[in-house]
Amino acid sequence: MASLTPNFVSRLFRPFTSSTKMGLGPSEGGVQNIPDTAQKCTVAAGCFWGVEHLFRKNFGDKGLYDARVGYIGGDTSNPSYRAVCTGRTGHAEALQMSFDPSRLSYTDLLAFFYKMHDPTTKNRQGADTGTQYRSAIFYHSPEQEQQAREVTRKAQEQWWKGKPITTEILPAGQWWDAEAYHQLYLDKNPGGYECPAHYVRSFPTLT
């Protein structure tokens, strides 16, 4: 991993944009013709650059159709990145994935979620602090809620024992795509900021 100081500084001074949130082409991270049988998985785990990067890297050829960064969980319509950064919109930086449930399970995605960030630090990941960096699972069905609570229980008992998990489990409300320059950010900017809390921990398989 590159030195923390330059990356952290680059995050502090990364550009804001007023671009509108429109559908993006494949070069910007969009995927065409996602089948009706696809399911969604929406999670928040801190700075969305690293979250997207790790999920794409680990599941890009295993049934993941698409992964988009954006905002969810707040009460502001069409929020900008600048507004979300204030912590006053209620939104979290998040990742919304579309996946093939015949090749990739929702519970596998959630287990990876609990491996790739620290769910025990409330409203914080690494040096990134604020409600916009909270840990959360936004479910899309009663079945997903049940699975999220079960995976969370197992992760607490088997992986994070002694450190209470603070992850919120909430129904998925309105999703807002982040600005275009945030999509696939670390693919376009390999030296860009990566939260030091974002790495895959060597945990045993949940049972």
Tell me the pLDDT tens digit for each residue of 41-82.
999 999 999 999 999 999 999 999 999 999 999 999 999 999
Rounded CA separation 46/125 (Å): 5
Nearest Cα neighbor of 42 from 12, 21, 72, 14 is: 72
Task: Write b or e for each residue in 25-40: b if 16 or more Cβ atoms lie within 10 A of its Cβ, otherwise e.
Answer: eeeebbeeeeeeebbb
Burial class (CB within 10 angstroms; exposed 0-12, middle 13-18, buried 19+) of 126? buried
3-state secondary structure of 54: helix
Catalytic residue among 41, 47, 85, 195: 47
The answer to whether residue 47 is catalytic is yes
Binned at pLDDT 50, 70 and 90, residue 33 comes out as confident
Rounded CA separation 105/87 (Å): 32
pTM of the model: 0.87
- What local confidence, expressed as pLDDT, does residue 32 receive? 60
- What local confidence, expressed as pLDDT, does residue 18 receive? 35
Tell me the pLDDT tens digit for each residue of 170-200.
999 999 999 999 999 999 999 999 999 999 9
- What local confidence, expressed as pLDDT, does residue 186 receive? 97
